[in-house]
Each structure stands twice: as C-alpha cells, then as structure tokens.
Structure 1
Amino acid sequence: MSTAAHEVATHRTMDEPAHPAVGAATALLDDYRPDTRFLATPTRTLLAGGVRHEISPGDGPVARRVAAALARHPGSTVIGAIPFDPSAAPALVIPETLRSAPALTADPLIALPAASPPPGRWEIRPEPEPEVYARGVRSAVDRMWQGEFSKVVLARTLALTGRDPLDIPAMLQRLARRDPAGYTFALPTRPGRTLLGASPELLVSRRGNLLVSNPLAGSTPRSPDLAEDVRRAAALLQSAKDLHEHAVVVDAVHQGMALHCSTIEVPARPTLIRTAAMWHLSTTVTGVLKSPEVSALELACSLHPTPAVCGTPTALARSVIRETEPFDRGFFTGVVGWGNADGDGEWVVTIRCAEAEGRTLRLYAGAGVVSASEPGAETAETAAKFRTFLNAVGAEL
C-alpha cells in the first residue's frame, strides 16, 4: 500500500484531506475496527482512533459544549452521533488520531465488490409486528383527519440474532461498497455497542460561509427490473401524497436555515436521488451564512428533528411517536457527522442504520405518515428500507 494511503493525520485540518491516491479511501475502510470511528461522506473519508476528549452529558446545548471542547484542543475535530432525543447523552468525541482521505467515490478500488455474507440462520423478531405497526399508522391518519396534526414519522424495528458474534467490519464493507456516494458510518455509542449505517440524507453542511441541506421525504422501493424501476421513479415525481410530504419538510428546513442566512435558494420542485434500495424525492437547499460564529453543528441542532424524521408540529409529533412506538429510538433519526473549531462540518440524518451488540443487530426503519397515507403502503415502505441492512447480512424477511 502506498505511503499516501496510510498517511496518519493527527488532528488534521478538515479542509485539507489527504492527497488523492488509488487505495487511499478504501485503506481507511479496510482498517476500520469496532473500537475506531469511520465516516465516509461525498467530500471525504475519515477514520478516527482513540479518545482525546469525550463530550459528556451536561447543562446547556450540546453544540456549545462541543465548541468549548474544540477550543481547548486547537486543531481538533469532533466526530460522532447525537440521539433523536437531544436531551439524551451524545456519542461525540475528539479523537486522538484522525486519518483523512478523499471520498470513497474518488477511489477506483471502491468498485471492487465486498465479500458476500456467509450463509447463516437469523432469528428475526419484529417490534412491533407489521399488523400492529399498520394499526398505528391508521390511528395517526384518523387523528390527522380530525385536524390534530399534519404529519408524523412512525418507525419499527427488527432484531436479528445470529449464532455467532457479528462481523461489523464486513457489514461496513458491504454498506460502503453498495452505496459509496452516500454517508456511511460506524462508531461506538457505548461499550460493546456500535451504530452503523448508510444514510442518504444530509441535514446540513458548512464550508466557510456556504451552507447546504438536502432534505429527503417521499420515497418508493427500487425494482430490479429496469423498466419498472424507471416507472416507479416517474410515478414518485408525480405523486401528490409524496410531493406534499416532501414540501412540508423542505419548508421547515427553509425556515430554519433562513434565520441564519443572508441569502437562501430553494428549488421550486424536487428531483430524485436513488440508493441501492430506494428512490427518494430530494431538494438541495443552499444558503450564505450571516454570522461566522454559527457552526455546522449548531445549525444541525437547530434543524433537528425535521419533519422528515419526526413530523409537524414537532412537539405533538414527538408525543404521537412516544405513544405509538414500543421502543426507544436511541440514535435512530438522530444526527451523525463531524465538525471542527472553524465551524465547518457535515451532519447527516441517522437513517438506514442499525445498532450492533454481541450477536444481535437491531435494524430501524420509518415512514412519513400524512392524511393520504395507506397503512399497507407505509408498512411496505419500511420493509423496503430494511433491505439496506438485510442485504448486508444475508437475511430476508
């Protein structure tokens, strides 16, 4: 392996990624171990080792605590995750070492396929059962027709238990190589537990005074048949239900970013983005920051949770989620990413994710429920979203 591919950058400035080289990004992917922290974005690939400082629970906003820690450690970077409930403990650290490379898509070796998952038997336990989830969707739709709220995102989980300890590095390889243009991550959230996933959704990024957000809402499963896949994509662009769901999210992001921007641009209509499993309606919102003191993490916390993962109005949607979902979301639909002392960073919505612990992998998937939602369709959408991880471990519903 070349020297460039193994370059170690201790507290490297995030605007200076390693020199592009064949194998540079995939070397970091290959070197990931469950006690390290891996994050790949469309701009860079990061592998963090050790813990120089941990952002512990405390009083005041987490962005303020992070800014104070970064100020005490000049030239450092924070990396990690924030839960769906912002009052819960984060999993954010300033690492001892940080290796940086260009994006995975810039490395030709990312095109090499990952090893197929070994044959194995999984015990799969849904929580809640699909029919119970569908009843929760129906109840939410009925309440919307009564005018209580306009949208809620309801999730369900699958607990997969295998006979052997989980091979997390192998799972990460399959996730990264299947969707290298997305946001792939794996990091410890507590001793013995790892959060990993491949999210398509950028909550907010900041580089200098330029802000970008890419809200996604409204989706449909991909098809292995090309003609059917194109038909589904075209239908999604014309779906009144999905366009309404998307508009609610874009409006919330627009309003949240506008508070901090001197100028802001929002396209009139969404476009499409695709992952290996799903088509999504997508809008890229860009803005120019008014004040350099506002960090990417502060912006992310001000936008979180968007209607794409919670609903609207936010407080009431949270209440409906607590009443309906029989589990704690934890880091699912939270925020994962990196930030530096200059205020730059990339923070991603934590979806298409799972938590690994021992022999068990807990998968999460949600669907946006609006008044036009059909319980069967929303249940099917969550099943399609589970495919990201089911394919990574060789399991089927």
Structure 2
Amino acid sequence: MRGPIRRRRRSAEEAVPPSKAEQPEVEPSTFGLRDLLSEATAGVLQRPARSALTALGTVLGVGTFVAILGLTATTSSQIDSRFNALTATEVTVEESGADDAKAAGTVFPADADRRMQRVNGVKAAGVYWTVRLGDGVTVRSAPVAAGGGTDGAGQDINVVAASPGVFRAAHPTLAQGKVYDEYLVDSEEPVAVISSGVAARLGITTLETHPAVFIGDEPFTVVGIVSDVDRKADLLLSVVVPRTVAERIWGDPDPQEAQMLVSTQLGAARQVAHEAPTALLPNHPEYLKSQAPPDPRTLRSNVTSDLNQLFLLLAGICLVIGAVGIANTTLVAVLERTGEIGLRRALGARGRHITAQFLAESGALGSLGGLVGTSLGTLTVLGVALARDWTPVVHPATVATAPLIGLVTGVLAGLYPAWRAAGIEPAEALRR
C-alpha cells in the first residue's frame, strides 16, 4: 500500500505547476543602436528613388536657407562698400529757409569753394543752382542749326550755373574738351559744358569747329562734352555755365535754390557736414543747413534685416514642404509595411522599437537632404560671387547648423507616422 500511494503522491506533485519563483526568466527583447541603424538604412535603400524624391524637399529648403544667408551677407558687404565709396563721401549744403536768409538773397559767398577746401576732410566743393529762364527762352546750337531746330525754335533744356568745384566733386568723364576752371569763371567768360546726350540733341558732334550754344540770345562757347559723372547725374541733362556769368546775365538765384555739393574723404562726411555752415558763413551759420549721409552700418543692418525676413520666409516654406513630403512618404511606408510591422511585433519587438526605427528612417532622409542642401547652397553663393566679382561671405555657423536643421525637420516629420506604426496590433496586422 505504501508503495503505490507514494507513487501517486509523486505523480501529483509532478502535476503541480512550478511556483512563480521557479519559472524560467524570459529575456526582454532588445533593439540596439547597431540594429536601429541597419534597419533604418535598409528601409531607406529599399526604395532609393522614393527616398531621393522625399529628401528633395529638405534639399531645397536647407539649400535655400544656406544660399539666402550667404547671399545676404555677401550683398550686404557690397552695399556697404558702394555706399562708403559714393554716398558716404557726399555732403549737400543748402539754405536753411530762415526769414533772414531769404531777405539776404543767396547766402553762398563768392569764394565758397575756397572756404570749403580749407575744411579738413574735404576733397572738392562747388555751388550750383538751376537758372530760371524767362518764358519762351530755349537753347539752340546756333541761330539756325541742324539738330537745334532749323526753324530756330531751339530745345527746352535746363541751364545750371555752377562753380568749378562742382565738376571736381561730381568727377565727370570727358568725351571731348575740358571743363572750365577758376580763370574762366573769374574772367566771366561765356563758356559752357554739355553732356553727350545734350550735344546730340543740339547737333554738336565735335569741338574742333568751336561750336556755340545760344541760351535765348546769349552765346556760350562749348568747351567740353561730358559722357558720365559719378555724382549729380542731372548735370547730364543740362547746359552748365559759370556761376559768375549766370549772376551777371540772370541775376542771383531764387532763395532755396542754390546748393553746394561737397565730396569728402571716407569717414569725414559727418564731421564736414557739422562744420560746413560755420566755415561758409561764420557770422550767420544758421542761414545754412547741411545734409550728411546716414550711418552706413544702419543702412547695412536695415537692408540685411529686410532681406533676411523675406528670404528666410521662403526658406521656411521650402522646409515645410520638405517636411510634409517626408511625413507623407513615411506614412505610406507604414501602411505598405503593416504586415512586416505585425510580424516584428509578434516576434517580440516593442512599440518603442518600431517608433525608433521609423524616426531613424525619416531622420536619415532629413539629414541627407540637409547635407546635400548645404553643399548646393554654398556652391550657389560661390557661383554668384564669382559671376559678379564679389567676395563670398558664408558664416561657418550657417554651414554647421544647416544639416542639423535637416535632421530636425526629418525627425519632426516622422513623429506621426512612427506613432501610427507603434500602435499597430500584431494580430490585426497579420490578418492583412
């Protein structure tokens, strides 16, 4: 009896399930970094054409971002240099409009050019104004002349009275002849300087015949033909005569019309503008006011800010388009690979593993687009700079940041598809 009972007890004990402590441990599923990178690379290379088109949006966005910042910095430096070369060295002095100044007539003294030359930093200075001709007074090359109107009607052309310093400040390019100097002005010689365009209108082709222009009935010998000027471009549309001759024939200029053009050394414009009224009229400096150029740094910062705001908006739009493209393609990949995802879940893959895989794939596409876009944007800046003979300016921080922007764009674009993939149930996926 004891034997069989003992055996039955042993069989019963064998039938009892082991306790929880005695159950074998199940190893948790792991998904290391190496596995993650290999799976993401396989997912990207599985459909290379689709991956390339998906990354194209990020390429355009990041490339535009780099090109915009580089071209903005490059053009800003060019604007700054050109501004310094011309506008930053130009000062204009005019009457202030005070009642006493109006009563005094023209407030610029006869030796205004010489007075301004004594100011430190001044390269050249001259007084000018537009002559008020009477009604019906026109300009012609001769009483009867081809080009000036064979009927003697003449041309309606502006006449500007100017001192010799105006030409030195405007820096003209002469096609023929020369500009008048202080000797011709002091001796009140009736001479004139015209531009190539005015000469063509009046039918003057050469100075070898000593041509003359008639302003009304007053003859002026043409001593020079100007093809271009660096400053005061309206001189190219006028007949320029000496100041002393204009005062003798037509009288003093009307109040508020006479001005002085001053060319300065680089960096001296604001100081010259401050000292000019006192240098010209030490007894009444309030009769004059001077206009100095704005600070070039302010101009550059304003231009750079405007360009950055406009073009960075375009770059942001391109990045959004790229992100939408990555999100759409990743979501389609999730739907197409539902069976694969379900099988992986059934074999022990957890939701976070699936999420990490799809985020890695979208991040890889974004990084690839960022690298290619950075290269294309940098090459664009170099190409434009070489074509325009500029100095390319690309900040190292821009080049270093741009690929990271592509990575962040890809990761953000893959958040929703990865979340959808992680929520797929294994049993439901395997039924499809």
> What TM-score, normalized by structure 2, do the two folds share?
0.18
Q: Which has the higher helix share?
A: 2
> What TM-score, normalized by structure 1, do the two folds share?
0.19
Structure number with higher relative contact order (C-alpha < 8 Å, ≥ 6 residues apart): 2
Q: Which has the larger radius of gyration?
A: 2
